[in-house]
Amino acid sequence: MKAVHFGAGNIGRGFVGLLLHDAGYEVVFADVAEELINRLRGADSYAVHEVGENPAVRTVDNFRALNSNAQEAELVAEIATADIVTTAVGPHILKFVAPVIAKGIVAREPGLAPLQVMACENAINATDILAKEVASQPGVTAAVLDGKAVFANTAVDRIVPNQEAGQGLDVTVETFYEWVIDRTAFGDSAPVIPGATFVDDLSPYIERKLFTVNTGHASAAYLGFEAGLEKISDAMADQDVAEDVRAVLEETKQLLVAKHGFSNDEQEAYVQKILVRFSNPYLPDTVNRVGRAPLRKLSRHERFIGPAAELAERGVVPEALLGAIASALRFTDPADAEATELAGILGSASPADATARITGLEPGHPLFSAVATLVEERQAEMASTPA
Ligand SMILES: NC(=O)c1ccc[n+]([C@@H]2O[C@H](COP(=O)([O-])OP(=O)(O)OC[C@H]3O[C@@H](n4cnc5c(N)ncnc54)[C@H](O)[C@@H]3O)[C@@H](O)[C@H]2O)c1
Ligand SMILES: O=P(O)(O)OC[C@@H](O)[C@@H](O)[C@H](O)[C@H](O)CO
C-alpha cells in the first residue's frame, strides 16, 4: 500500500506520516523545501518523540521523498499508482498542489481502485476545497474523476510545534492525537488506518475541533503575545490569560452544545482536556506559531469570527471572543506576511472597510458593529504609537 503525502512539515512527519506508516503504508513525502527533501532522501528513518503524560518514542521508516516543484513527472507517476493522497500544507496552499494531484488522477489506469484523497488542514471541509481545485484543472471533468478518485473530509488534532534547529527530521509532538474521517465518502472501501476514527457525520467533530482546540489555542497565542509571553505553556500559566481563554471556550461550548447536541458534560470534559494540553510544559510551542497567519484566523468561517458570528445570530454578545479578537488585531510578527498585511489594512482603510476586509462580515451582520469598534480602537492605538 502506498500513500503520497504533501507537506513533510510538523504535522506531516509528526502525525499523518506516522499514522499512515503505522497503518502499513509506504509514504512518499512531497514537499517544496529542497533541504528537507534531501534529508528525507538521505535517511532510513526518523523518530517521533511524544512528550507529556506517558511519553514515548516512535520510529517512522519505509518512506521516500520527492520535490513537488522539480519532480512533477515522478510525482504524477506515484499518484497514478498510489492508494491514498493526503495533504498537510496549509489551506491556502491546496490550490498549488491540486494540479499535480489532478494529473496523477488522470494518469491512473482504469480498473485501479479510486485514489482516496484527504486534506488534513485546519479548515472546515478542507478536502472539499482541494476537490474543487482538482476539478477545475484543465482536462478534468466529473466524468474523469468518477471512479478514479474519492475525496473525504477529515479533522486532525495533534499539537506539533515548530522543531528546534539541529533536530534533523525528528519531531517532538504531544502524546494526544485524533484523526476523524468522513466514512461516507468511501462507500464500502474505507481505508484501514488503525489510529483514525471513521464517522458518518463529520461536521460536529470538525466544528468542535476548530472552535474549541483552535479557538482556544489562538486565544492563548494572541492574549499571551499581548502579555509579552513567548511560549504557549507560559501564556497558560498566566492567570489572566488562562481565565480569558477559559471564558472564550465557555462561549464556544454554549454554541457547540446548542448547535450539535453535545452534552454540556461531554463538551466540558473536552475543554478541560484541551486546557491541560495547551499547558504541556514539555511542548516548546510558541505564540508566534500558534498565532501565525492572523488574516486566515480572523476570516469569516474560521475559529474566531465563525463561532462569534453564530452566537451573535442567536442573540448572544460573545464578549470573551471579542476580547480575543481585539488581541488578534494587536498581533505583530515581522516574519509573518499576514501579520504585516493585517497592519497594512488597519493602517489604510476606514474602520468599516477594514472590518469587512479582515473578517468578511457583512455590514448588516449582528456582529459587525462590535468588531468595527475594536478595529477603530486598534487603529487609534496605532495612530498614537510611533512606528
Ligand atoms: N502543527 C500542528 O499542530 C497542526 C495540527 C493540526 C493541523 N495542522 C495543519 O496542518 C497544516 C500544516 O501545518 P504544519 O504545522 O505542519 O506546517 P509546516 O509549515 O510545518 O508544514 C507545511 C509543509 O508544507 C510544505 N509545503 C508548502 N507548500 C507546498 C507545496 N506547494 N507542495 C508541497 N509541500 C508544500 C512546506 O515546505 C512545509 O514543509 C496546516 O493546515 C495546519 O493548520 C497543523
Ligand atoms: O495550524 P494553524 O495555524 O491553523 O493553527 C495553529 C495551531 O492552533 C494548530 O496548529 C494546532 O496546534 C493544531 O490544530 C492542534 O491540532
Taking the C-alpha atoms of residue 301 and residue 306, their distance in angstroms, rounded to an integer, is 4
**Which of the listed residues 34, 89, 129, 181 should we mutate to test ligand 1's pocket, taking the one with most ligand atoms within 8 A of CB?**
89
CB 306 within 8 A of CB 211: yes
In this structure, the residue with its CA closest to atom 39 of ligand 1 is 9
Say how many Å lie between the CA of residue 158 and the centre of ligand 2.
Answer: 8
Counting from 1 in the atom list of ligand 1, the atom nearest the Cα of 120 is 10
Output the CA–CA distances (angstroms, integers) from residue 148 to 83, 101, 138, 324, 353, in the order listed. 11, 12, 16, 44, 44
- DSSP string of 268-298? HHHHHHHHHHHT-TTS--BHHHHT--HHHHT
277 Cβ inside 6 Å of ligand 2: no
Read off the DSSP letter of residue 211: I
| Predicted pLDDT at 339 | 98
Residue with grid cell 488534513, as numbered in its chain: 120
Counting from 1 in the atom list of ligand 2, the atom nearest the Cα of 91 is 4
Say how many Å lie between the CA of residue 6 and the centre of ligand 1.
Answer: 9
In this structure, the residue with its CA closest to atom 7 of ligand 2 is 290
pLDDT confidence bin for 387, thresholds 50/70/90: low
Say how many Å lie between the CA of residue 73 and the centre of ligand 2.
Answer: 32
Structural domains of the chain in order of their starting residue, each with its CATH number: 2-201 (3.40.50.720), 204-384 (1.10.1040.10)
Binding-site residues for NAD(+), in ranges, read: 3-14
Q: Which ligand is nearest to the CA of 29?
A: 1
Say how many Å lie between the CA of residue 160 and the centre of ligand 2.
Answer: 8
Taking the C-alpha atoms of residue 325 and residue 304, their distance in angstroms, rounded to an integer, is 7
In this structure, the residue with its CA closest to atom 15 of ligand 1 is 10
Burial 239-252, CB ≥16 within 10 A → b, else e: eebbebbbbbbebb
Give residues with Cβ within 8 angstroms of 40, minimum separation 6: 8, 29, 31, 63, 64, 65, 169
Q: Please compute the mean of the pLDDT values over residues 130-142 and round it to a whole number.
A: 92
Per residue in 342-370, pLDDT (tens digit) is 999 999 999 999 999 999 999 999 999 99
Say how many Å lie between the CA of residue 115 and the centre of ligand 1.
Answer: 22
Instruction: Lowest mean pLDDT of 19-33, 129-143, 148-162, 276-290, name the range.
Output: 129-143
Taking the C-alpha atoms of residue 177 and residue 86, their distance in angstroms, rounded to an integer, is 17
User: Where are the extended beta strands (E) located within the chain?
Assistant: 2-6, 26-31, 45-51, 56-61, 63-67, 84-87, 115-119, 149-151, 154-157, 171-174, 178-182, 196-199
130 Cβ inside 6 Å of ligand 1: no
Per residue in 324-334, pLDDT (tens digit) is 999 999 999 99
Q: Please compute the mean of the pLDDT values over residues 288-298 and round it to a whole number.
A: 98
251 Cβ inside 6 Å of ligand 2: no
| Predicted pLDDT at 357 | 98
Question: Rounded mean pLDDT of the chain?
Answer: 97
Say how many Å lie between the CA of residue 290 and the centre of ligand 2.
Answer: 6
| Predicted pLDDT at 39 | 97
303 Cβ inside 6 Å of ligand 2: no
In this structure, the residue with its CA closest to atom 33 of ligand 1 is 31
Decide if pLDDT at 187 tops 90: yes
- H or E element: which one contains 77? helix 72-80
| Predicted pLDDT at 166 | 87
Could you tell me the three cell numbers for 278?
A: 495547551
Task: State yes or no: ipTM above 0.95.
Answer: yes
pTM, two decimals, is 0.96
In this structure, the residue with its CA closest to atom 36 of ligand 1 is 7
